[in-house]
Amino acid sequence: METIADLAIASLKEAGLGDVLYLPEQQLYDERVASYWSKPAQLKPRAIVQPRNMEEVSKALSALVKVNDCKIAVANYQVVLADGSIIEANKSKNSDLFFLLKGGGNNFGIITRFDVATFPSHDIWDGIITYSKSETDELVSAMVDFIKNLHGEPNDHLLAMWTYLPKTKDHIITAVLTNLDGVENAKSLDGFLSILCQKNMKTTTVATKLKDDTWFTLTFKLDPRLIKKVADAFEALTEEFKPLIPEQNFYVSMVLQPLLTSFAKHSVARDGNVLGLDRIKDDCVLMVIAIEIDTRTLTEIRVSEVESDG
Strands 250-259 and 212-221 turn out to be unpaired
The pLDDT assigned to 207 comes to 46
The pLDDT assigned to 137 comes to 92
The pLDDT assigned to 204 comes to 42
Is the entire prediction scored with pTM above 0.85? no
Burial classification of residue 163, based on how many CB atoms lie within 10 Å of its CB (0-12 exposed, 13-18 middle, 19 or more buried)? buried
The pLDDT assigned to 288 comes to 94
Instruction: Specify the DSSP class assigned to residue 128.
Output: E
Encode pLDDT of 219-246 as tens digits.
Answer: 999 999 999 999 999 999 888 888 877 6
- Distance of alpha carbon 275 from the chain centroid: 15
54-65 vs 4-14: helix crossing angle, rounded to 10: 140
Determine if residue 104 is left, alpha or beta; phi over 0 gives left, psi from -120 to 50 gives alpha, anything else beta: left
Provide, rounded to the nearest whole percent, the portion of the chain with pLDDT above 70: 78
Encode pLDDT of 141-183 as tens digits.
Answer: 999 999 999 888 888 999 999 998 877 778 889 999 998 888 8
Q: Give Cβ neighbours of residue 85 (< 8 Å, ≥ 6 apart).
A: 58
**Angle ∠(262,270,104) on CA atoms, nearest 5:** 100
Rounded distance between C-alpha atoms, residue 299 and residue 294, angstroms? 10
| CA pseudo-torsion sign 105, 107, 110, 114 | negative
- For the chain, list the domains and their CATH numbers: 1-67 (no CATH), 70-118 (3.30.465.10), 124-293 (3.40.462)
